[in-house]
Amino acid sequence: MTIQQLAYIVALDDHRHFVKAAESCLVAQPTLTLQVKKLEEEVGLTLFDRTKHPLQPTPMGEKFIQKARSILREVNELKEIVNTDKDELEGSFVLGIIPTLAPYLLPRFVRRFCDEHPKIKLEIKEMQSVHIITSLKSNLIQMGIMATPVDDNAIKEIPLFNEPFLVYANPGHPLLEKEYVDQKDIVGDGLWLLNEGHCFRNQVMNICSMQTKAAAHPGLSFESGSIETIKNMVRSDMGYSLIPELSVNEQIDRDLVRRFKAPELTREISLVAHHSFTRSVLLDHLRKSIVAGIPSTFKRNTNVARVKWT
C-alpha cells in the first residue's frame, strides 16, 4: 500500500470517473485503474462498485476512503511543517469561495497574489458555504473565503473585512425616497432572494425576520443563484433586493442603492482553513493580498452590526 495509491482512490471518490480521476492526478487512466485494482487485491476489499454509473464506493470502501483522506491530510501536514519551518511559499492549494463574493472579490487580489508568489499553484472553486466547510474537513480544499462565523471548532477563521448590505430598488420604489433605510423597512413583499443554499439568502431573511419566501411580483415565482440576475430583475421595475456592496457597479447602480442607518448591517468575510492547516505564513500572505484590494471604506467603518447566516 502506497501513499500514491491512497491518493488515487481519493481522486476516484471525488470524481466518480476513472478518466477524470486520472486527469486530476496527472497520470494515464490505465495506470490509475491498475493501481486501484492492486490496492483492492492487497486489502482484500472491493472499494468501488463499478456497475454503478457514476461510480460509487462500496460501504466498506467509504470507510476505507475516509481513513485514506485522514492519512493524506497528515502526510500533507508533515510537508507543511517542513515548508513552514523554511518559510517557503510554494506548493499547490485549492481555495473555495462563495458565489456572492467570487465575481467581485477575486479580481481585486488574485493577479497580485499570483504575481508575488510564482511558486504557488492556486486552484479556485466557487462553492456554497456548507460545501466549503465539508471540503475543508475532507481536505478537498485547503482554504476558503466565506461569511462567518461558522460556529465549528474544526474551522479556524481569519476575519478580513465587514461588507455592508445595501438596499437595491427599482426606479420609483418608495425605499429610494429615503436617505438611509431602517431595518424595519425591509419586509418580504416584493423582495427578491437568492435560492436556498446561499448563506446570503439566510442573512437577508434574518434581516427582515422572514420564515418563508414571499413573492416579489404577483403571479411570478423566481429563484436565482446570481446577484447579477436579481439586479437585472429589479432594474426591470420589479421589486427590490439586498445586495453586497462589492457587487455595486457605480455606473449602473449608483442611483438604485441606499445604505442602512448606523450601525450598518454587514456580513463578516473571513479566510477559513481546517484547524490542522499549518501554513500560517501562506494564510497571512493571502490575507494581506485580499485586504489590500478591498475599498478603504470597509477598513474605516467600525460602527457595524454583523448579520449571521447560521
Q: Which pLDDT does position 242 carry in this prediction?
A: 95
DSSP structure class, residue 158: E
- Annotation: CATH topology of 90-161+266-306: D-Maltodextrin-Binding Protein; domain 2 (3.40.190)
The whole-angstrom distance between residue 110's C-alpha and the CA centroid of its chain comes to 15
Give 187-247 as a 3 state SS string.
Answer: CCCCECCECCCCHHHHHHHHHCCCCCCCCCECCECCCECCHHHHHHHHHCCCCEEEEEHHH
Any residues with CB less than 8 A from the CB of 102 and at least 6 apart, and which? 124, 126
pTM: 0.77
The residue that leads in pLDDT, 225 or 180, is 180
Centre a 10 Å sphere on the Cβ of residue 249 and count the other Cβ atoms it contains: 11
Any residues with CB less than 8 A from the CB of 59 and at least 6 apart, and which? none
CATH code of 3-82, in short, is 1.10.10.10
Say yes or no to pLDDT of 310 above 90: no
Q: How many helices (H) and strands (E) does the chain have?
A: 11, 11
Q: Which pLDDT does position 218 carry in this prediction?
A: 55
Say yes or no to pLDDT of 300 above 90: no
DSSP structure class, residue 254: G
- Does domain 162-265 fall under CATH 3.40.190.10? My reply is yes
Distances (CA, A) of 279 to 198, 227, 292: 28, 33, 20
Q: Using CA atoms, how far apart are residues 34 and 142, in angstroms rounded to an integer?
A: 29
Any residues with CB less than 8 A from the CB of 189 and at least 6 apart, and which? 214, 215
Instruction: Say if CB 298 and CB 162 are below 8 A apart.
Output: yes
How many CA atoms lie within 13 Å of 282's alpha carbon, on the beta-carbon side? 28
Q: Using CA atoms, how far apart are residues 29 and 22, in angstroms rounded to an integer?
A: 5
Helices (H), ranges, 86-186: 102-116, 129-137
The count of residues in the chain is 310
Q: What is the pLDDT of residues 195-253, one digit of tens each?
A: 888 899 999 988 987 544 555 555 556 667 899 999 999 998 788 999 999 999 999 99
Q: What is the pLDDT of residues 90-146, one digit of tens each?
A: 888 999 999 999 999 999 999 999 999 999 999 999 999 999 998 898 888 999 999
DSSP structure class, residue 8: H
Which class for 9: exposed (0-12), middle (13-18), buried (19 or more C-beta within 10 A)?
buried
Same fold, 3-82 and 162-265: no
- Domain locations along the chain: 3-82, 90-161+266-306, 162-265
Q: What is the pLDDT of residues 251-262, one digit of tens each?
A: 999 999 999 999
Farthest-apart Cα atoms in the chain, separation: 72
Q: Which pLDDT does position 125 carry in this prediction?
A: 94
Distances (CA, A) of 86 to 90, 102, 111, 237, 276: 11, 32, 25, 58, 18
Q: What is the pLDDT of residues 32-87, one digit of tens each?
A: 999 999 999 999 999 999 998 889 999 999 999 999 988 988 887 787 777 665 55
Say yes or no to pLDDT of 281 above 70: yes
Q: Which pLDDT does position 49 carry in this prediction?
A: 94
Q: Using CA atoms, how far apart are residues 56 and 279, in angstroms rounded to an integer?
A: 33
Instruction: Say if CB 253 and CB 244 are below 8 A apart.
Output: no
Distances (CA, A) of 298 to 77, 152, 166: 34, 26, 13
